[in-house]
Amino acid sequence: MSSSYNNSNSEESSSDRNVEIWKIKKLIKSLEMARGNGTSMISLIIPPKDQISRVSKMLADEFGTASNIKSRVNRLSVLGAITSVQHRLKLYTK
């Protein structure tokens, strides 16, 4: 009985792993297909152990740098994209 239980448990974990791999591949494919209009799209990848506060500070620094962009259209587009990311980041807790 325990042998069939272990085998069944092993098959479930293998199946769960395959589902997770499929989800990740699907996410990567959708990200590859995503397109922004000029400078209006930001890809922000945060490592699993990184702190959100550090990323928020980095975005604030980038916002300051983007304020110096000479082209009004590009400046507003970049600032809008950074602001959007900052607001979305606030939705996440640790």
Question: Where does the pLDDT of residue 6 fall: very low under 50, low under 70, confident under 90, or very high at 90 and above?
Answer: low
> Which amino acid type is present at position 67?
S
Residue 37 has pLDDT above 80, yes or no: no
To the nearest whole number, what is the mean pLDDT of the chain?
84
Specify whether the CB–CB gap between 77 and 42 falls below 8 A: no
Q: What residue type is assigned to position 24 of the chain? A: I
Mean pLDDT, residues 24-36 taken together? 84
Q: Among 51, 80, 50, which residue's Cα sits nearest to residue 63?
A: 80
- What is the reported pLDDT for 2? 47
Domain ranges within the chain, ordered by starting residue: 1-34, 37-94
Instruction: Report the pLDDT value the prediction gives residue 15, as an integer from 0 to 100.
Output: 85
Q: Which residue has the tokens 């098959």?
A: 11
- The string over 63-89, giving b where at least 16 C-beta atoms fall within 10 Å of a residue's C-beta and e elsewhere, is eeebeeeeeeeeeebbbebbeebeeee
pTM of the model: 0.60
Confidence of residue 82 (pLDDT cuts 50, 70, 90): very high
Report the share of the chain in percent with pLDDT over 90: 48
Which of the following CATH numbers is that of domain 37-94: 3.30.70.660, 2.160.10.10, 3.30.960.10, 2.60.40.420?
3.30.960.10
Confirm if 66 and 82 have CB atoms less than 8 A apart: yes
